[in-house]
Amino acid sequence: MSSLSASNSPRTRESAVSIRSLGLVYTTTLDRRPTLRNRLGRLARRQRQTRIVHAVKDLTLDIPYGQVTGIIGSNGAGKSTLMRVISGILPPTSGKVEVFGKVSTLLSLGVGFNNKLTGRENVYLGGLAALAFSVAASLDPDIFIIDEALSTGDARFKVKSIERIRQMKSDDRALIVVSHALKVLREICDEIIWMDKGKMVKRGEPLEVIKAYRAFLHVGSSPETDEDF
């Protein structure tokens, strides 16, 4: 049995989000060799290959008000899926999610500088990210979810975003930031949650969790790994 509840009533407790035994499973089409011959063969047999993906597995945690919580992990770790469940975009398959307050979510608009785009297109994307951040923050949320949006835009956008995040934290709001930009997370987060394959691997002080995450990836500290992992 699964449930997702949200309340926009005034806050009366320290916890912003309560998650108990959360699981999310979905089915996706499996097409390892998408050749015309394979597709015609499956069409003739009326077969469709699928696989079951356990995006989030038996996750239990509380996210408090008055702090910035960072979420890190490799692509496919379940970070964005978790944010979509908390936001009410995706229903959980199992477990319980309770959200105590008004949520505003800023999802990824494209991650980082894309060298396949023109300079003008990259500038446009950065401007769009800044506008989206401003609009989402102006909705006066109790809980503000930022999913990879800090990886888009220029240095000025990042500085202004960090300032706004710190201001919202001082107003005793709950902020959840998903990012591969480890340097930014070290600067703004009170704690970090490391996810892998749908599970929480480690949670704690930012430097400690980032160090363990880097060791897991077999990479050291450098400007490149601060931004790209």
pTM for the full predicted model:
0.77
Q: How far, in Å, CA of 24 to CA of 125, rounded?
A: 31
Both tokens of 33, joined, read 């060799």
Both tokens of 93, joined, read 């398959």
Check residue 198 and give left, alpha or beta (phi > 0: left; psi -120 to 50: alpha).
Answer: left
Q: What is the mean pLDDT of residues 181-205?
A: 96
Each residue's pLDDT tens digit, 122-176: 444 445 666 666 666 767 899 999 988 776 666 777 788 888 889 889 899 999 9
The answer to whether residue 36 scores a pLDDT higher than 70 is no
Rg over alpha carbons for the chain, rounded to the nearest Å, is 19
Each residue's pLDDT tens digit, 97-110: 999 999 988 876 44
Which residue did the predictor score with more confidence, 200 or 120? 200
Give the pLDDT score at 11. Answer: 56
User: Is the Cβ–Cβ distance between 87 and 102 less than 8 Å?
Assistant: no
Give the strand pairing for 2-7 and 94-100: parallel
Kindly state the DSSP code that residue 11 receives in the 8-state scheme: P
Q: How far, in Å, CA of 146 to CA of 149, rounded?
A: 6
| Residue ranges making up the domain that contains 168 | 2-228
pLDDT-derived band at 116 (thresholds 50, 70, 90) equals: very low
Give the pLDDT score at 215. Answer: 95
Sign, CA torsion 58/69/219/157: positive
59, 118, 127, 132, 153 from 100: Cα distances, Å = 18, 43, 32, 24, 31
Average pLDDT, the chain: 81
What's the first-to-final CA gap in the chain, in angstroms?
35
pLDDT-derived band at 64 (thresholds 50, 70, 90) equals: very high
3-class SS of residue 202: strand
User: Is the Cβ–Cβ distance between 153 and 106 less than 8 Å?
Assistant: no
User: Is the Cβ–Cβ distance between 151 and 179 less than 8 Å?
Assistant: yes
Question: What's the total number of domains in the chain?
Answer: 1
Q: What is the mean pLDDT of residues 47-64?
A: 88
Q: What is the CATH number of the domain that holds 74?
A: 3.40.50.300
- Cα 179–chain centre separation: 7
